[in-house]
Each structure stands twice: as C-alpha cells, then as structure tokens.
Amino acid sequence: AIANGSDIADWTQAGALVRAAIDAFGRLDVVVNNAGFVRDRMFVSTSEAEWDAILRVHLKGHFCVTRHACDHWRAESKAGRTVDARIINTSSGAGLQGSVGQSAYSAAKAGIAALTLVQAAELARYGITSNAIAPSARTRMTEGVFADMMKAPESGFDVMDPANVSPLVVWLGSAESKSVTGCTFEVAGGKISLADGWRAGPAVDKGARFEPDEIGGVVHELLKKAVPAQKVYGT
C-alpha cells in the first residue's frame, strides 16, 4: 500500500493521485470514492461556504478522481488492451431519501447516486462498471451526531462496525461483479439491500395542454395511485 495526501477535489492533485497508483502498481483496476465530511445544519442556517465545501469534497471529489481514472482506462481500451475496471461510489441513505439537518450532504449524495447511473450507461463500452454503496456504519462523521445509535455493544454482533461494509466493496471490485452496474446498494450490519431508485410512476395524459384549474385534480389522482415515498430521515 501507499499513502497519498492529494486533495481529491483538486483537478490537478486528483490526477497526480491516480498517476501515483499506476506508477506504484503498474495498473489500475478499481476506484473507490469514499472521502467526505459533514457540516450539519438546518437548511435555513446553512451558509454558502458550508454548502460549497460539502458539494466540493463529496460530488466534485467523486468527479475529479474518477475522470482521471477513466482517461487512463479509455486510453487502454483505445490501445487495444482489455479493460475490466470498477468504480465504487459512496452515496448515503440521506441522498436516497433525504435527512433533516443535512440538506447539503443529502444533495451531494443524491448527486452521486445519479452520477453512478450515468457512468454505468456511458462507460460500459470501455469495460468499466459503476456502482454505489449507501452504508450505515460508525465513522468520524456519524459517531458524534448519532452517538447512541453508533455506540459499540459490549458483546455480540456490532451492527455499526464499518468492517461490515468492506465485503460488499471487495466483491464489487472483483471480476465476479462484471455483470453488475448502475446499482446502489444499502448496507448496514448484516443487511444488504438494492435501492429501487427513481422511476416513472402513475401518469395522466390529456393529449392537450392542461389548464391551471385542472392541475389540482390530476395531481391528487396521481397521488392516490402512487406508492408512498419513504419518510425523510429525522421526520
């Protein structure tokens, strides 16, 4: 292993990080994007600086490192060498359904889930898969905010041990996961679930432009037919 202190949200430093891995090991197979922090605030108390910082490290950090990695893999593919590469992004339950007091974090993590879908669609032609995880575990971000939930038990299975997340990451980075792409997996303790994501729901098609006074009835009819959304965390 090697350590590298590059700023993953700095375009040039992210490129140097990817190059350091290739120089050290002679090849690049997997990118795991996992850097992040929180600046928890209610939306009306969130500053511009806090918003920018969260989106920078989470969303731009995912972009910068992976873009440089994909430049390398694309060049390998164009040179006629077989590419079997993996991108593993880190989203969050907050990004999938929202979390009170975490508007910036939720927005960034939702962006990462959507980015994963686009990467999977665009990069398959080069032999690259992209999946995301939404883990629930004890980290420096969660052990202070959710102290009671994250407290390690005195005995028995430690549901919030971050080591519980690692096996899924290992498998997603392996050759066995070649056929799996564009997925987001929630993982907590011994539970792995496949997030269902956004999809087209009930529809009404008038075949002509709606008038404003018609919209209310249409919306209420759609809501009757729709599967209720999961509750936002903290509500």
Which positions are catalytic?
92, 105, 109
SS (H, E, C) the chain: CCCCCCCCCCHHHHHHHHHHHHHHHCCCCEEECCCCCCCCECHHHCCHHHHHHHHHHHHHHHHHHHHHHHHHHHHHHHCCCCCCEEEEEECCHHHHHCECCEHHHHHHHHHHHHHHHHHHHHHHHHCEEEEEEEEECCCCCCCCCCHHHHCCCCCCCCCCCHHHCHHHHHHHCCHHHCCCCCCEEEEECCEEEECCCCCCCCCCCCCCCCCHHHHHHHHHHHHHHCCCCCCCECC
Distance (Å, whole) CA 136 – CA 39? 18
Q: Are 115 and 91 in contact (CB under 8 A)?
A: no
What b/e sequence results for 24-37 when a residue is b if at least 16 CB atoms lie within 10 Å of its CB, and e otherwise? eeeebebbbbbebe
Between strands 128-136 and 184-188, the pairing is parallel
